[in-house]
Structure 1
Amino acid sequence: MALDMTTARPWPALLDLPWRQPLEEWPEEQLAALPRGLSRHVVRFVRLEGRVVAIKEIKADIAVREYNMLRMLRRLGQPVVEPIGVVRGRLTKGGEPLDACLLTRHLQFSLPYRAMLSQSLRPETATRLIDALAVLLVRLHLIGFWWGDVSLSNTLFKRSAGEFAAYLVDAETGELHDKLTDGQREHDLDIARVNIAGELMDLQAGGFLGDEYDPVEVSDRIIERYQILWKELTAIERFDVGERWRVDERIRQLNSLGFDVGELDITTDFDGATIQIQPKIVDAGHHSRRLLRLAGLDVEDNQARRLLNDLDSYRAANDRQNDDEEQVAHDWLMQIYEPVTRTAPPEMRRKIEPAELFHEVLEHRWYMSEAAHRDFPIEEAARDYIATVLPAKPDDSTVVGVDTEEMPVRADR
């Protein structure tokens, strides 16, 4: 039986991997030591030509289905891991059949929740992860995707200007519909609440999560946050014709939540007395798209919001409100952003993304100014941050603290 390899683009180096061995027996020298989340399947990371590939051993039909689903979700602009390919027809040297493998690109600077919580033992960390997961779930539901296995384990998290951005990493049970029913959405929320509570209880039982956390209370938060977001994005609003300013107010409110309005459905009563509006097409990433257009920086939306604030401050400080916006953004990029992000020595730059580094320097400058009761130039704040804070930061691009797959898990999970 010949090896069958399906990939989005040719990658000959994949042929050099030991496909005739079970994944759990692959030699250590071929593996990348990255933190792994919990999985029902064997998962390993492999370094290949300077890139890191996540490989999951799974039944062939499920692997193909998940590969196609991930490709579809990426085409729809959703935050999911990038699928690379599927390898089928694997046999051991003795001729015994092996499961297929699903290949995805490792999301750089991302972490599974168990690694995130084990290194950040602050009570608010878990709630921020839940908020990020709620945003992800709303985005997926808006395009008609029913996840079927919502959990922290099936999500990767990246830092984004002090918050977190969530990415779907496991679409094995997912289904794509034209539109979800209220029952389908509620089913996903019920699954999420039960799974999250169990995952946090596992961490507490293993001593990796403090008693100040209430797993059930934290898991209930996803319902609250999801419902707030869903209402803002889908609710119909009615008002008098003379209050047309409320259309702009509604758009601004959606933008403040990180969503961009692509189209509004606006209707009036037969007598023209009232107007009804409902966002018809919405998508996340308002701030990131604006920053990409202005400065060519492709970053997380919270990071983009913070960088845009600094760009606006730069514009005001230099009395350039009437100048071309793109020219001001170019000058800010050359004079402020790039010099600050290049201040860190090369051996430290792998610890943190440039946009997150810039955000943390801004935060550090604020704390310095508050303590000294005076302003500090950003260059001075950057030097102080790199000398006093960055060396102690964990390296998000490699191993963080503990192999999360080795953490104890309750026997009933």
Structure 2
Amino acid sequence: MALQISATNPEHPTLLLDLPWHLPLQEWPDSYLVPLPRGLSRHVVRYARAGTEVVAVKELAERPALREYEMLRTLDRMGIPAVDPLAVVTGRTDADQQPLEPVLITRHLRGSQPYRSMFETTLRPSTVHRLMDALAVLLVRLHLAGFAWGDCSLSNTLFRRDAGAYAAYLVDAETGEVHPSLSAGQREYDIELAQVNISGEMLDLEAAGALHPSLDPITFGTEIGRRYGELWNELTRVSVYPTGKRHYIERRIRRLNDLGFDVAEMQIGQASNGDTVTFVPKVVDAGHHQRQLLRLTGLDTEENQARRLLGDLESWMATQEDHVSGAPSQGPPGPDGEAPVGTRPEVLAHRWVREVFRPTVRAVPEGIRSALDPAELYHELLEHRWYLSQRAQHDVGLDAAVRDYVRTVAPHRATGA
């Protein structure tokens, strides 16, 4: 059988042809590989360069490779945080024409890390808790979409910085199944597996001396169930309000938005005696702030990053004369009496990107910029501004914060300190 590369993007097969498919993955020369940290896997996995792309290459049998490829494509269409599938390569043979295992190829998730590389230096308990919060959010998002993971674990997850927190991405979809919706039993099975897997992973870290002594592996492993349960309940519970307190419905929706979720559909019913109103969020989608920021600015970020950037954007907009209430209008009214173009949020938001966000990020040396996602770097600059302002007891301004960051923080970043 001849070598076959199955991909949805016509550019990917061309980029992948130059890789040494005639060699088992574990024998690939270093000249093809990218030295990035890898998590634990029951399969051989390597990072390689294909053109300008860095890709993850995983050897496994043909049927599970094709199944996982299609599953990851499905998750992508559903908007679930998961690695991006690029291709499946089959028909591989060595120099003696002996068959080699097919491979699944996914795009490397820039800025992400497997959990074990994060524990190379003992993480503070608060950081480990943030990882678990991110995993609980991912699991809830999967279940809301009708996806039963079947193998939830830290090893099957990648973590990426998200404005002081973390965002979790699914890596291994080999055991996953998609349903119109999940039963309580299906969800509980995923949670039980997660608890067992995470406790085992924590025990391994403890044995290696990489776990903070205050963390108990078994107790901590079961925490995923509590965190998941609290979030699932908040997103799906039925609320009953007095008829005269209908604004409580809006308050609940805003609380869901604060958690990063949108209510796409809802059911509202009134009791037969008219005394109470029942509210059920029917469908809940994640990424509320991400979508809002993308719509306003075109910036595609993680959820917490988006929340932070939106806060800075709103503060900046409030200082602009063409946005302040009662300020003279700039330009003629739009059609049908709309506000002048200069006052529309989208116009101001793009001006903020052009005049504030991009120049601020570019003021940091390129070596530091390349190590951090632009949104995460901007978040760090805002955090540094807050720290300096607290110390000075007045707002030092963003320009001063950037200069101090470049002088005091950037050198340590550059040296890996």
After TM superposition, is the score higher than 0.5? yes
- How many residue pairs are counted as aligned between the two chains? 397
Alignment of 1:14-33 (within 5 A): 14-33=16-35
Which residue of the partner structure matches residue 385 of structure 1? 405
- 63, 66, 81: which one aligns with 2:65: 63
Tell me whether 220-229 or 309-318 shows the greater mean CA deviation.
309-318
Q: Distance in 1 between matches of 2:4 and 2:50?
A: 19
User: 1:48 offset after TM fit, Å?
Assistant: 1.1
Q: Distance in 2 between matches of 1:127 and 1:121?
A: 10
Which residue of the partner structure matches residue 5 of structure 1? 5
Quickly say closer, same or farther: Cα 1:16–1:79, change in 2 above 3 A: same
Report if the CA contact (8 A) 2:268-2:280 is conserved: yes
Quickly say closer, same or farther: Cα 1:394–1:148, change in 2 above 3 A: farther
Q: Distance in 1 between matches of 2:314 and 2:27?
A: 54
List alignment gaps of at least 5 residues for structure 1.
402-413
Q: Distance in 2 between matches of 1:248 and 1:284?
A: 18
Mapped pair 1:353 → 2:373: yes
- 39, 44, 69: which one aligns with 1:42: 44
Which residue of the partner structure matches residue 190 of structure 1? 192
Q: Which amino acid aligns with 1:6?
A: S
Which residue of the partner structure matches residue 344 of structure 1? 364
Alignment of 1:9-158 (within 5 A): 9-10=9-10, 11=12, 12-119=14-121, 121-158=123-160
Q: Distance in 1 between matches of 2:273 and 2:386?
A: 54
Mapped pair 1:209 → 2:229: no
Task: Give the structure-1-normalised TM-score.
Answer: 0.92
Q: Distance in 1 between matches of 2:410 and 2:203?
A: 32
Q: Which amino acid aligns with 2:260?
A: G
Q: Distance in 2 between matches of 1:390 and 1:139?
A: 36
Alignment RMSD: 1.7
Q: Distance in 1 between matches of 2:166 and 2:22?
A: 39
Of all paired residues, the percent bearing the same amino acid is: 52
SS of residue paired to 1:61: helix
Residues 103-135 of structure 1 deviation map (CA, whole Å, 9 limit, x = unaligned): 000000111111123246212111100000000
Provide runs of 4+ in structure 1 moved above 6 Å: none
Q: Which amino acid aligns with 1:364?
A: H
SS of residue paired to 1:62: helix
Q: Distance in 2 between matches of 1:264 and 1:371?
A: 46
Q: Distance in 2 between matches of 1:13 and 1:237?
A: 53
Quickly say closer, same or farther: Cα 1:192–1:296, change in 2 above 3 A: same
User: 1:331 offset after TM fit, Å?
Assistant: 2.6
User: 1:61 offset after TM fit, Å?
Assistant: 0.3
Q: Which amino acid aligns with 1:85?
A: A
- 372, 394, 408: which one aligns with 2:392: 372
Q: Distance in 2 between matches of 1:387 and 1:189?
A: 46
Residues 328-362 of structure 1 deviation map (CA, whole Å, 9 limit, x = unaligned): 22232222211111111222211111111111111
Task: Give the structure-2-normalised TM-score.
Answer: 0.92
SS of residue paired to 2:35: coil
User: 1:309 offset after TM fit, Å?
Assistant: 0.9
Q: Which amino acid aligns with 2:395?
A: D
Tell me whether 84-93 or 142-151 shows the greater mean CA deviation.
84-93
